Amino acid sequence: MHPGGRPLVAAVAAAAAVIRTATGRGTLAGALATAATAAFFRDPRRVRPPLDNVVLAAADGTVATVSDVLPPPELDLPPTPVCRVSVFLSVLDVHVQRIPVDGRVLAVEYRPGRFLSADLDKASEDNERSALLLETAGGVRLGVVQIAGLLARRIVCDVGPGDEVAAGETYGLIRFGSRVDVYLPPGSRVTVSVGQRTIGGETVLAELPGHGVS
CA distances from 209 to 27, 155, 201 (A): 55, 30, 20
- Kindly state the average pLDDT of the residues 173-187: 86
Per the annotation, the verdict on 178 as an active-site residue is: yes
Question: Which range of residues forms the domain containing residue 17?
Answer: 3-40
Residue 141 clears pLDDT 90, i.e. is over it:
yes
Tell me, yes or no, whether 74 and 174 share the same domain. yes
Tell me, yes or no, whether 86 and 128 share the same domain. yes
Tell me, yes or no, whether 123 and 73 share the same domain. yes
**Dist CA 112 CA 128 (whole Å):** 4
Q: Find the catalytic residue in 178, 188, 193, 214.
A: 178
The residue type found at 199 is: I
Tell me, yes or no, whether 61 and 146 share the same domain. yes
When divided into structural domains, the chain yields a total of 2
Name the percent of the chain lying above pLDDT 70: 73
Tell me, yes or no, whether 17 and 64 share the same domain. no
Residue 164 clears pLDDT 90, i.e. is over it:
yes
Handedness of CA 187, 190, 194, 198 (dihedral sign): negative
Tell me, yes or no, whether 18 and 117 share the same domain. no
Tell me, yes or no, whether 139 and 189 share the same domain. yes
Q: Residue 150: what pLDDT?
A: 64
Task: Give the domain CATH number at 175.
Answer: 2.70.70.10
Tell me, yes or no, whether 104 and 29 share the same domain. no
> What's the predicted TM-score (pTM) here?
0.81
Per-state percent for the chain, helix, strand, coil, to nearest 5 = 20, 35, 45
Q: Residue 22: what pLDDT?
A: 74
